[in-house]
Amino acid sequence: MRYNLFCFIRRNFALNFLTAITMGTLPVTTVYAGSEQCPSNNEVYVSFPNPDDCGSYYVCDNGVPFYKDCPSGLHFNAETEVCDWPENAKCNVDQDQSKPQQ
C-alpha cells in the first residue's frame, strides 16, 4: 500500500508541476494573414521576412505562418533565413514608416 500511495503522489506532483510550467511559459504568437507563402505540410522548413519590419519574420507550421522576433539589434536575413547583423541582412524596409508613431 505504501508503494502505491507514493507512486500516486509522485505522479500527481509531476502532473501538477508540468501543468504549472506549461501554463506559465506559453508564448504569445501572432498568425500572419497571408499564408500563401507556407506549404500545407511540414516536409520543408520555410521562413520568410516580415514585409513591414526588418527585425521580425514568419515561420511556417502546417501551412500557417507564425510571427517571430529577432533578438534586439538584428534583422532577418532572407537569404540565410536567420537573424543577422543589419549590414548582412540588407533589409530595405523603411523602419520609420513601419513602426507605429507614439
- 3 state SS of 61: strand
Per-residue pLDDT of the chain (102 residues; tens, 9 = 90+): 454 544 444 444 444 443 444 444 445 455 555 557 888 887 888 999 999 999 999 999 888 899 999 999 999 999 999 999 999 999 988 755 444 444
CB 40 within 8 A of CB 79: no
Pairing verdict, β 82-84 and 75-77: antiparallel
CA dihedral 30, 35, 40, 42 (to 10 degrees): -50
At 43 the pLDDT is 80
pLDDT at 63: 87
Domain that holds residue 67: 28-98
Residue 54 lies in a domain: yes
Quick check: is 85 in a domain? yes
pLDDT recorded at residue 62: 86
CATH code of residue 35: 2.170.140.10
**Can you give the pLDDT at residue 35?**
59
Tally of domains in the chain = 1
In a domain, 90, yes or no: yes
Q: Which three cell numbers stand for residue 18?
A: 508540468
